[in-house]
Amino acid sequence: MNFTTDKNLHTIESKKVNGTGSEQNVEPWVATKMTKMQIFWMIFTFVFTLGPIRVLLFILIHAISLIFYRIMAIGVNESNSYGKFRSKLIEKWTNIGSRLSIATMGYYRIKIVNKENYVNWKKNRNERIIISNHSNQQDIEIILSLIATGFIAKSSVKNIPFIGSINTCLQGIYVDRSKKNTWIFDKIKLRATNKKLLPIAIFPEGTCTNNKSLLKFKVGAFSAGAPIQPLLIKYKAGFPLSFINLYFTVQNPWIIFLNLFTNIINHVEVTFMDPVQPTEEEKINPKLYLENVQKKYQEVSNWKVHNLGYRDMVKYMEEMKKVKKNN
């Protein structure tokens, strides 16, 4: 796959060799590059809207959460039950702590679409596997504010301050992307069938996008042949800076960090799609299960699905770095 880059846009074109030799614009990581004036206004607004204080509150909330989870996790690992009492405490604090955390970023309200599906899930919890599209790190806390769950994540996440420790305490599972992780299917099956363990959440795209496209799902989430609760997360422009980019792109990490605590108000919408019960054929054929769920995502989101993945994103990042060096 060959990439063509543009210095004014975070964009690439993918020239794929196929029967027609056609070109396909790679949309999942396209984002308009912020101008110097926009960066100036972002920094000014960050200070004016008490961004530094909000950052400190964010750190304080996570520090309290970390202490709480470490106490709760004594004697428990990803395969052991917390027990009914500890599970209830963990669920309550996870929802409350995550709500407080995202409030420091301007998310004071989460708009839930198909709320009856959310109410039914909270009541019955039949779907132990939660899947969602993935755009940024906020996705994790948005989900945690609604559902107490561990996440399947790349192994490097384990070492991220706060996030790694909290996910470990929530019985998260880590995979090494450089190796074949066939053992993960057994782990997913265990979490899907054992109601004494916390649910497990998976981002089946395997990496982030710009919240305007979908990547081809990976088979892991569907390997257990178990019921799934799909979520669709959509972000909308905030106030006062509507140009703020809250999605994963190749921006400077510090700019991404400032973005999180700049706007006074940010908007997010979570759609609790209809839970999916696999057919007998889908239980035998995870790829068929995957394809049918992906179609449902495409219908609900009205986004295009791209046959791209994590390795394509890595190539894209490498090309963008070359462009920056040459300009």
pLDDT tens for 100-121 read: 999 999 999 999 999 999 999 9
Cα–chain center distance at 276: 20
Q: To which H or E segment does residue 293 belong?
A: helix 286-301
Q: Whole-angstrom Cα distance, residue 145 to residue 11?
A: 33
**More confident call, 248 vs 322:** 322
- φ, ψ for residue 315, nearest 5 deg: -65, -40
Q: What are the structural domain ranges in the chain?
A: 2-325
pLDDT for residue 287 = 93
Contact partners, residue 295, CB within 8 Å, separation at least 6? none
Global pTM reads 0.85
DSSP-derived 3-state class of residue 161? coil
Compute the average pLDDT of residues 179-189. Answer: 74
Buried b (16+ CB within 10 A) or exposed e, 239-258: eebeebbbbbbbbeeebbeb
Q: What pLDDT band is residue 95 in, cutting at 50, 70 and 90?
A: very high
Residue in 128, 143, 132, 127 with CA at minimum distance from that of residue 197: 128
Buried b (16+ CB within 10 A) or exposed e, 157-170: beeeebbbbbbbbb
CB 268 within 8 A of CB 234: yes
